[in-house]
Each structure stands twice: as C-alpha cells, then as structure tokens.
Chain A
Amino acid sequence: MATTMTPPKASWSASRQMRQFMAYSSMTFFGLIVLSVFLMPLGYMMTTAFKTIQQIVDVYGFILPMSPATFTYESKDYPLYKVPTDVGLQNWALVRKGREDSDFVDPANPQAGPIYWTGRWRTLAPVYNFNPTYGNFAVAWDTVQFPILFRNTFIIAIAGTIGTLLSSIAVAYGFARFRLPGKSVLFIILISTIILPSQVTLLPKYVFYRTIGWGGTWWPLIIPHFFANAYNVFLLRQYFRSIPKDLDEAAMIDGASPLQILLYVIIPQSLPALIAVGLFHFFFAWNDFFEPLIYLQGRPNLYTISIGLTQFANAFGSRPELLMAASIMAVALPILIFFLAQRVFLQGIVITGVDK
C-alpha cells in the first residue's frame, strides 16, 4: 500500500496536475482536428496546384502530387510494385505481366535478371514517388493576365480606401463631437442603411451611371466611397467617442478650429481604428464581385481579380490544377496582409459587431 505512505496533499496536487494536462491536451487536440477540417480546402488548393491532370484523376495517393514510379530496364520503362517476398515487401519492376504469375526485376540488382513470381500482379500496390509540377503557375499567370488584374484591382481598392477614409473620418467626427439638431434621427437613418438591400437602389444607379457616361469605367466603383458608409462611420464614431474630450477643449481654448482639432487631436489618437477601416475597405474592394461584374462588363482590360478569375474558371472549369494555381495567386496577398495586421482586424470587428 504505497499510496497510504505518500502525503494526501501531494497526491492530490499530482492528480490535479495530471487532470490539468489532460484538459489542455485534449482540448487543443480537438481544436486541431476542427481546424484541419476547416482549412482542408486550403490543403487541397496547395497540393492540387502542383499536380498534373493525370495525378488529379489518379485514385492512388490522391493527396500529394505523386506519380507511379518506374524503372528503366533494358531501355524500357516498367512500373514498380510492392511485391511481398520472403524478406518483406520489395519494390520491384514488373517486366512481364501474367494472369497468375509474373516476372519482376529488382532495381537494386538488375543484373540478376527477371525474378519469377507466382501471384496476381493486379493485387499488388504500385509504388508512388513525390513528383510535383510547377508549370501550372506559369500557365495560369499568362492566361489570367494577372499583372493587369492586380494593377486594376489595386488602383480601385486604393482609390476607394482613400475616399472611404476621408469621408468616414469627417462624418464620424460630426456624429461623435457636435451637438446639432436632428443628429439622432440622422444617426438612426445611417445605421438602418446597413440592413437596406442594395438591390433596391441598384437599377436607378446603374441607369444614372450609364447616362453620365460612367458605364464601362471604374468611376462607379470608386466615387460612391467618397460619401462614407454606415459600418465605417459607426466604427470610427465609437472610437472617437472613447477619446477624452479634455484634449479637444484644451485645443479649443488655444483657438484651434474644429478642423484643426480633428487633424491634430483626434486623428493621431485613432490610428488603429483608421487602419482597421482602411484595411476593411481595401479587402472589400479587393474581393468585391457584383459591382465590377455589372459595371465593367465587356471591358476585359479593366477587369478586377474576381472577374478575371471567374472568366478563367468558366473557360478552364475542367482543369482543377490551373484553377488552384490561379487561386493561390489570388489569395496570397489577402492572406499575407491579414497575418501582418490580424490584431487590427479582429479589434475592428469587435467594435462594429459588439457595440451594436
């Protein structure tokens, strides 16, 4: 009875530590399983982009880009199979296929000549080697015209980001710091535009842009963002309101105008929120589909990545390896920027989503 010898407190703490360890490891293990299922499509994308179409269709070794291994014997290629022998599984090349018996060659010792083997070769598992292809990227890059698409998307996204920042800062400042008649009604109208379906304004806007000659240009994708939007105004207003008013008042006593207070007091203290708004808009524009679809129809040299990628997908729908190579190129930049700025992102969402 060794347990009666140990002090009860020590055994309690040891078992408690054990339980803690079990709790941490099982929860983290569970999290890893959920995460790997959740991100499995990314794994599919990464491996498929390095495959040939034969490797995709091949049922064996379908995860990594693998090819059946061959061995050249007497200047001919023969497939390798895993052959059960007295000394365990051997990777031998099949040189003569028979129904009930076959001849193999041992690649390690081809001089020994064919080895006679009794059994059905069709039951044997083929040997696969890791054999990635890199050509898909070049094909996708050239066919999709990525340089043009990147340039177009970048210009639209940057111009819209500037517009949304300028206008949303001003409007949020107006809502956060000024007493004016009708402000609460205006604010309710602003917030209710979040749930307004954009379709109800779509057709008149489309007709209007066409009438003033903006059909087939980038202007409809850029100019409206110079007039603020509810999400960004709300986020910035919440942030501005958390800045103590004492500083405004001190600056006001020193004779600063409201514009100077905005520029020298509010903006320098709101950089995280401004970065969040800028990034949100940048990615909204980068990923936007509908507006480029209707406004840039028939102008391939103005297309954005989303539209270019869709066109490519329609043309090469049966070529998963090319689609995945193109997808990698399209997602690389958003994912990179997200990891660099993820803290700002996640905080920005909390402000808009939780503060209601």
Chain B
Amino acid sequence: MAAIAHETQSVPVSKRRGPSFVTRREAIWGYVFLSPWIIGFVLFTGLPMVVSLIYSFTQFNLIKPEEGMTFVGLRNWFQLFRDPQIYQSLLVSVRFALISVPLGIALPLGLALLVNSKHLIAKNVFRALFYMPTMIPIVATVLIWGGILNSDTGWLNRLLAIIGIEGPKWFQDKHWVLVTLSIMGFWGLGTTMVTMLAGLQNVPTDLYEAAKVDGAGPIYSFFNITVPMISPIIFYNLTLAIIGAFQYFTQAYIISNGRGDPEGATYFFNLYLFKTAFSFLDMGYGATMAWLMFLIVLVLTIILFTTSGRWVYYASGED
C-alpha cells in the first residue's frame, strides 16, 4: 500500500518538477558556458569603469603610492572646463573626425561598388588586394606612408613636381597633417569595404530591374535603391568610424613620438589622455578625461541611434 501510495504521489510531482528541472539544468549549463564572459565583464569592464569614476574624484601618483590617494571632490571635473588643452585636443579630434569619417565611408563604398561591378574581370583578386593592407601592422603602415609622403624624397611630391605642382609638406604643415593622417587611414578601410560589398550583394536585383523598366538611370538607382538598402551597414560603419576618430591614438603617437607635432596639430584628445596618465602620472585627471571621452561617445551614439530611424531602412525588421 505504502509503495503504491508513494508511486501514485510521486508521478504527478515528477511530472510537475520534470520540465522545471530540465529548464533549470539548461539554465545552469548556459550560465556555466557564459561564465568566462560574465566574470571577464565584471573584472575587466564593469569594476574598472566604476573604479575609473572613483579615480576622477581623487588625486594620486602612480609611481609614488606612498603619497597615497587624496579625495579632491569635483576638482578634476572643474579642471576639465578650465584646461585650454582640453579644448585644443578635442578640437583636433573633431577636426580629424570631420575629415576622416566622410572619407572613411565614401571611399570603401566606392571601392565596394568597383569590386562589385559585373564588368570587372578577376573580381576576387581585386577584393583581396584592396583588403590586404588592412593586415599590415599600423606601425609599418605609418612608416611606409611616411616614406611615400616625405616632402623631399617621397614619390608623391616628386610625381606632383613632374606635373608642375609643389606638393605640401604633408607631416610638417599643420594645415595638412590631419589630411595626411586621413590618407594613411585608407589602408585600414578593407573591413568596411568588405561589409559594404556584402551589403551590395544582398540588394535584390529585381529592384534594379524594376527601376530600369521605369526608366531610372544608374545614378537615380544608386541613391534611391542602393543607398537605402545598405543604409544599416552605412550606419554601423558610421558609428564605428566616429567612435574610432575620437579614440585615434596610434598613428598620431608614432608620427611625432607622442609630441603632437606640428604645433600641437596632432595632439589628439586620446594622446593628451595618455600623456596625462603615463607621462605626467596624474591618474585622477586622466581618469576624468577618460570618463569625459566615454560620455562624449555615449552622447554621440545616442544621437546617431535616435536619428537613425529617419534614414536607416531595415528591410526585414529585426532578426
């Protein structure tokens, strides 16, 4: 009797608990697999962000820990507004973004159109070769472009001299150096080109055929079919390009060994941040600058996302 009673009782219980046990087991396994990222996020992103914010209210010298960390309230944050170098270096970053971001979208789009053309022979060879410089270490890229753009011995100015143009001093002229850096950036555009190419290939061809039947020319088709259809990819790359321009560091650091030559024209915000933390060893102010950069990027991203509804077209909705 007892055994039967036990059986009859246990059947509904296990039926009720069965699925929940399976889902709990599944969830546990899932968290186990996610754990490296969750732990890593807390250790290397979440906590450091909070600590960085705390740093911004303190003053301490990294090399002399015995001096200790002193709480200074909002002094670092007020300092941001009084520091002329902050405006200067933000201006450099903004100016650079205004030059490099439009180029960084238009040029890969142009290249993608070129290597997507049905009249191009050996397309795959062209695609690979246009992408290839993206693999070259940035330091080598800077050295190579530094050579070809050298105002005395570089090829470009000598070629310009042949047709009677005196080329600018690419690296020494403060009006040109940001253009020079943008040109050097051409070699990093392969990834953008490949994503745009994939976007172009996903545009349904019947749209073009329908437009052709209606008498639309290639330019009309480009602006009214191609651009709207690949606008999500343009948007994605635009976001990354703007953020990238504000974080620009390596090339600027290498061309003048971190001095920001000529006349501070390449003293980017991120370079100033680096100097503040690792040369002037002012960690508190450095962390404040880092948070300022985070807030700027956050605001820019929010602006981009809220305005994206007006010009980004999602053909199939979400996922």
Q: Which residues of A contact B (CB under 8 A)?
A: 23-24, 26-28, 30-31, 34-35, 38-42, 44-45, 48, 56-57, 59, 62-63, 166-167, 170-171, 173-175, 177-181, 183, 186, 189-190, 193, 195-208, 210, 224, 226-228, 233, 258, 262, 283, 286-287, 289-290, 293-294, 305-306, 309-310, 313-314, 320, 323-324, 326-327, 330-331, 334-335, 337-339, 342, 345-346, 349-350, 353-354, 356
Contacts and interface: CB of A to CB of B under 8 A. Distances in A.
B246 interface: yes
A206 to B, nearest CB: 8
A356 B232 CA distance: 8
Interface in B108-164: 111, 114-115, 117, 119-122, 126-133, 135-140, 142-148, 150, 152-155, 158
Given A31-B126, A39-B129, A41-B148, A197 B246 contact: yes
Contacts of A338: 128, 131-132, 135
For the complex, would chain A's binding face be called helix, strand, loop or mixed by DSSP majority?
helix
Contacts of A166: 36
Contacts of A204: 47-48, 51-52, 55, 287
B307 to A, nearest CB: 16
A197 B36 CA distance: 21
B148 A44 contact: yes
Interface string B227-256: 000001100110110010011011001100
A334 B297 contact: no
Contact of B257 (A26, A294, A314, A323): A314
B23 interface: yes
Contact of A305 (B128, B137, B153, B278): B137
Given A174-B30, A174-B33, A339 B139 contact: no
A178 B144 contact: no
B319 to A, nearest CB: 9
B71 interface: no
B106 interface: no
B194 A350 contact: yes
Given A203-B290, A287-B137, A306-B138, A350 B120 contact: no
A178 to B, nearest CB: 3
10 contacts: A28-B122, A41-B148, A56-B153, A174-B30, A175-B34, A180-B31, A186-B38, A204-B48, A310-B139, A327-B140
B257 A200 contact: no
Contact of B37 (A30, A202, A233, A350): A233
Contacts, number: 271
Interface residues of B, number: 97
Contacts of B121: 24, 28
B137 A334 contact: yes
B26 A179 contact: yes
A320 B27 contact: no
Contacts of A205: 44, 48
A199 B294 contact: yes
Contact of B195 (A59, A226, A331, A350): A350
B198 A350 contact: yes
Residue among A41, A262, A310, A339 with the highest chain B CB neighbour number at 10 A: A41
B178 interface: no
Nearest 10 interchain pairs by C-beta:
A227-B40, A178-B30, A353-B195, A174-B33, A201-B48, A27-B119, A204-B51, A180-B30, A204-B48, A180-B27
Given A171-B37, A313-B143, A59 B286 contact: no
A353 B30 contact: no
A173 B33 contact: yes
B139 A324 contact: no
A171 B36 CA distance: 7
A199 B257 CA distance: 20
B186 interface: yes
B36 A34 contact: no
B250 A289 contact: yes
B144 A45 contact: yes
Contact of A193 (B41, B133, B154, B237): B41
Contacts of B199: 354
Contact of A201 (B45, B233, B246, B283): B45
A224 B36 CA distance: 10
A26 to B, nearest CB: 8
A44 B191 contact: no
Contacts of B287: 203-204
Nearest to B44: A224
Given A195-B239, A353-B233, A227 B39 contact: yes
A309 B250 CA distance: 13
